[in-house]
Amino acid sequence: MTGTEIEPTRPDTGRTRDRTEGLPARNPHQNGQSDQRPQRRRAWAWLVAVLVVAALAGGYWYWKHRRTAPAATAAPGQAQQARTVPVAAVPVRQGQLDLYIDGLGAAAAFNTVTVRPRVDGQLVNVAYGEGQEVRQGDLLAEIDPRPFQAALAQAQGQLARDEAQLHNAQLDLKRYQDAPTAVTQQQVDTQASTVRQYEGVVQTDRAQVESAQLQLSYCRITSPIDGRAGLRIVDVGNMVHANDPGGLVVITQLHPISVVFSIPQDSIGRVQQKVAAGERLPVDAYSRDLTTRIATGTLQSIDNQVDQGTGTIRLKAAFENKDGALFPNQFVNARLLVETLRDVLLVPTAAVQNGPDSTFAYVVKVDQSVEMRPVELGPVQGEQAVIARGLEAGEVVVTDGVDKLQQGSKVTVARGATTRPSGGRGPATQAAAGPSQDAPTQRGGAGQAPGAPRRDRGSRK
């Protein structure tokens, strides 16, 4: 074995070659493609499921539409007629309607006096209370009378002296006249002239006495009218003067009191016609918010010209105001009653509808369906309207829910409304009499509230 090289033992690769000869060569990208195949299978499965669901939904919709379309096409009006519309309705009533003309105004005193002193002096007494009701001649205040008493005494003394001189001159004249031979005629004439001079002096003294007495009487300040005293302006102890602009107190007459208000110039003719006929037109004064009637009076006078700036004319009404509810310069809403319509058909204005061709109302018939009835509208006052033609007393008209109605619609009248069918006759119920005429209606709905000033809707059409 020496000198001989021994080859290393090699593994037998023949078998291994035989095992791999029949297999294809492997691609390095083959592993990545194998991982994407399951994801593609799942995406296709979801897509197929969505298409199946969409097909089923479309088929159901088509089947449903084909089932309901013939019924809707065959009778398009039956569904509308079968649907019942809830409405509110009232019967047409026969009664009276007062037609008013509304205007804005303010209360004004017939007499307002600012009491001022007529002499200068110190104020020593205030005899009235603030807000007190005083009568004509009641004592209001006093000024210190002592200076005027002294002036009166001085005038009376001057009068007494001059009267004595006059009396002496008259005696001398009588003596001269009884002894004509002892004196000359010139002396008689001179003495007669002296008597006349003293008579003039005495007359002047008497006037001065009367003036002093008058000045003294001015120290007692009394009320010139019946009314209510205002707040005190000057306190006791102050010096007052005849030319003081503020005066001592303001006396305002409240009983009676007037209200001056304006109405549109278009309504002058109606008012003037009633006044010329000798009618006493009542006027109601309402509060600022139109909810409370303050007082009731009568129209007294009409102004002689129209205000060109506003197109209105002023009217004056007198109120007794025994309760003192009205105060001077108080804002009021005046309502002048110019006419009362009797035995007319009345409905709420909400029942009257305006169409393109005519005015109409929905009338509830016996079968609870509605009829669109043309009507002729008369005067309108507030929320009440007069029906001149087209309705009868007792028929029921729809006042609420008219926007959902058409000719022949079925309705359900709300509870509390009269369900007297169309065609009947009879007196209207008191429940359907509508709002009271004692107060103006507020703005809203189909009625018109009295505004400031609002146009007269009570005129005949």
- Give mean pLDDT, residues 407-418: 75
Q: Residue 177 — pLDDT band, cuts 50, 70, 90?
A: confident
Predicted model pTM? 0.61
Q: What is the C-alpha separation between 195 and 167, in angstroms, rounded?
A: 8
- Give mean pLDDT, residues 212-234: 94
- Give mean pLDDT, residues 56-62: 77
- Of 162, 233, 230, nearest to 198 by C-alpha is 162
Contact 90, 417 (CB under 8 A): yes
pLDDT greater than 80 at residue 458: no
Owner of token pair 């009618």:
279
Is residue 252 within a helix (H) or strand (E), and if so which, with residue range? strand 249-252
Q: Which amino acid is at 337?
A: L
Q: Which CATH number fits domain 145-218: 1.10.287, 3.40.50, 3.30.2000, 2.60.40?
A: 1.10.287
Q: Which amino acid is at 62?
A: Y
User: Which strands, in side-by-side order, build the sheet including 133-134?
Assistant: 112-115, 249-252, 227-229, 133-134
Peptide bond into 180 cis (omega under 30): no
Q: Which amino acid is at 53?
A: V
Percentage of residues in the chain having pLDDT higher than 70: 77
Q: Residue 38 — pLDDT band, cuts 50, 70, 90?
A: low
- Of 299, 234, 229, 238, nearest to 271 by C-alpha is 299
Q: Which amino acid is at 356?
A: P
Residue 329 sits at φ, ψ, to 5 deg, of 70, 10
- Give mean pLDDT, residues 22-35: 49
Length of the chain: 461
Q: Which amino acid is at 393?
A: A
Question: How is the chain split into domains, by residue range?
Answer: 89-106+255-432, 145-218
* Predicted confidence (pLDDT) per residue in 280-289, tens digit: 999 999 998 8
Contact 297, 259 (CB under 8 A): yes
Q: Which amino acid is at 315?
A: L
- CATH T-level assignment (fold) for domain 89-106+255-432: Elongation Factor Tu (Ef-tu); domain 3 (2.40.30)
- Of 332, 285, 323, nearest to 105 by C-alpha is 332
The pLDDT of residue 82: 55
Contact 222, 139 (CB under 8 A): yes
* Predicted confidence (pLDDT) per residue in 265-323, tens digit: 999 999 999 999 989 999 999 998 888 999 999 999 999 999 999 999 999 999 999 99
* Predicted confidence (pLDDT) per residue in 350-381, tens digit: 999 988 888 999 999 988 899 999 999 999 98
DSSP string, 16-84: HHHHHTTSPPPPTTHHHHHHHHHHHHHHHHHHHHHHHHHHHHHHHHHHHHHHHHHHHHH-TTHHHHHSE
Q: Which amino acid is at 192?
A: A
Mean pLDDT over all residues of the chain? Answer: 81
Q: What is the C-alpha separation between 329 and 106, in angstroms, rounded?
A: 5
Q: What is the C-alpha separation between 280 and 286, in angstroms, rounded?
A: 19
pLDDT greater than 60 at residue 80: no
- Of 246, 218, 221, nearest to 232 by C-alpha is 246
Highest mean pLDDT among 4-8, 13-17, 155-159, 266-270: 155-159
